[in-house]
Amino acid sequence: MSIESIRSVQEDTVVDNPLEEFQATLKEAVEILHYPDEVFEFLKKPMRFLEVSIPVQMDNGKTKVFQGYRAQHNDATGPTKGGIRFHPDVTPDEVKALAGWMSLKCGITDLPYGGAKGGIVCDPRTMSFGELERLSRGYVRAVSQIVGPTKDIPAPDMYTNSQIMAWMLDEYDHIREFDSPGFITGKPLVLGGSQGRETATSKGVLYSLQMLSELKNIPIEKMSVIVQGFGNVGSYLAQYLYELGVKVVGVSDVLGGIYDADGLDIPYLLENRDSFGVVSNLFTNTISNQELLEKECDVLIPAAIGGVITKKNASRLNCKIVIEAANGPTTKEALTILDERDIVVVPDILANAGGVIVSYFEWCQNNQGFYWSEELVDERLKEKITSSFLNVYHTSQNYGVSMKVAAYIEGIRKLAEAARLRGWLRF
């Protein structure tokens, strides 16, 4: 598999503007709450947005300048929190939308954070280890004045990992001249990371599905599931589902998908995936990612990139439930179609909140200097997801709205109330 083949597949994916998607549902939820327009104006954009240029010496001796971003959406409830993604398609509007979603996510799960997000326009798959380290350190130097353990706490996101967090932590410690493990989460365990952080997002999605199966009285082991995306979140999720006896009938990667109505051998896929997480090249009868989305299943879990379920394909989905493991995989127009078809959508700001929840646990452990077992982390994660899911579900029932809008309502309430009490808003 070549880098060029990956790019050609990604360039065929057209994603609606994520900031406009965020703002449209935000406005709808604010109006349902009968809040004044000032609340929408206050929340529709980040309070702070930084764009930086990062010069990096490449292995060939030349200097390349990378564009980086950091959006801090709202700090009414506490320091901001959010991941850093390395991706060639990162845009300012995407980063701003992701920061807004993170604010709502923290409100839903009752975390003492506002939302933030960072990104660098780069293709890490074409860069050497040394180039990635120099880029990571350069980003921290560029944003160091606005981040910190009581200001804005970064974490991993798309194409970043614990090693990149370790480089960023080390650079920040050099700048500040003291050890500050709480500056960043998703770190290696030996540098103050938390047990269970790597699998947290996947487990949060799993717990959300288990909650829905209980509320709908559908045994989870009788469900058939498609996982669109086989990266960190998708692969762990497929593994957990398989271990529970769930029939995983489809998975996909950046090159394509595989589908078997009788169920896939997930352990075989995990053992034989390549260094990019690609498994579709193990088979000759592959299908496209779009075709996989429309295959028959009980539960469809988009766990890759945003904007994959749109008004163009929403009417052709052949599932009963959508669990949004990715950020913003379903457009607002598509959600309207799915709602009309009585397809339940568990929104991203609820379903994939496991990552930020365990990042919060890591931050708490760093501040206390006391570390928890993986069993305790998982127990507390499940408690958080369960209570948050029930709150959103009941709000959906009480207001007669989709779970997506209900999740926005829950998130907005906390942000607006914090801003009102601080005197920033008056209503």
pLDDT given at position 13: 46
| Average pLDDT of the segment spanning 246-259 | 95
**Exposure string (b/e) for 63-76, b if CB count within 10 Å is 16 or more?**
eeebebbbbbbbbb
pLDDT at 46 over 70: yes
pLDDT given at position 312: 95
Nearest to 81 by CA among 300, 396, 363: 363
Measure CA of the first residue to CA of the last residue in the chain; give whole Å: 57
pLDDT given at position 8: 41
Distance CA 311, CA 316 (A): 10
Distance CA 66, CA 8 (A): 22
pLDDT at 7 over 50: no
Distance CA 405, CA 323 (A): 15
Domains of the chain with CATH codes? 46-182 (3.40.50.10860), 200-351 (3.40.50.720)
What band does 14 get if pLDDT is binned at 50, 70 and 90? very low
pLDDT given at position 177: 86
Helix (H, G, I), strand (E, B) or coil at 51: strand
Distance CA 154, CA 99 (A): 11
- Active-site residue list: 117
pLDDT given at position 277: 77
What band does 15 get if pLDDT is binned at 50, 70 and 90? low
The alpha helices in 158-226, defined as continuous H runs, are: 162-176, 200-215
Distance CA 337, CA 356 (A): 30
Distance CA 21, CA 348 (A): 13
* 370 compared with 13, residue with greater pLDDT: 370
Nearest to 302 by CA among 278, 326, 328, 279: 326
Q: Which residues contact 78 (CB under 8 A, 6 or more apart)?
A: 111, 112, 113, 114
Distance CA 324, CA 327 (A): 7
Distance CA 142, CA 241 (A): 41
pLDDT at 3 over 90: no
pLDDT at 309 over 90: yes
pLDDT given at position 305: 87
Please name the residue that has the structure tokens 């003291």: 178
What band does 237 get if pLDDT is binned at 50, 70 and 90? very high
pLDDT given at position 167: 99
- Going from the C-alpha of 169 to that of each of 143, 156, 162, 173, 177, the distances in angstroms are 13, 12, 10, 6, 12
Strands 257-259 and 247-252 come out as antiparallel
What band does 11 get if pLDDT is binned at 50, 70 and 90? very low
pLDDT at 420 over 60: yes
Q: Determine what percent of the chain falls in helix, strand and coil, rounding each to the nearest 5.
A: 50, 15, 35
Distance CA 298, CA 226 (A): 8
Please name the residue that has the structure tokens 């090159």: 255
| Average pLDDT of the segment spanning 78-98 | 97
Residue pair 77/411 in contact by the 8 Å Cβ criterion: no
pLDDT at 10 over 90: no
Tell me the average pLDDT of the chain: 94
Q: What's at 142, amino acid-wise?
A: A
| Average pLDDT of the segment spanning 114-119 | 98
| Average pLDDT of the segment spanning 327-345 | 96
- CB neighbour class for 210 (10 Å; exposed up to 12, middle 13-18, buried from 19): middle
Distance CA 85, CA 161 (A): 9
Distance CA 391, CA 411 (A): 11
The alpha helices in 315-400, defined as continuous H runs, are: 332-340, 348-351, 354-368, 374-399
Strands 152-156 and 80-87 come out as parallel
Q: Pick the range with the lowest mean pLDDT from 40-44, 102-106, 285-289.
A: 285-289
C-alpha angle 230/403/425, rounded to 5°?
110
pLDDT given at position 284: 85
Is the pTM higher than 0.85?
yes
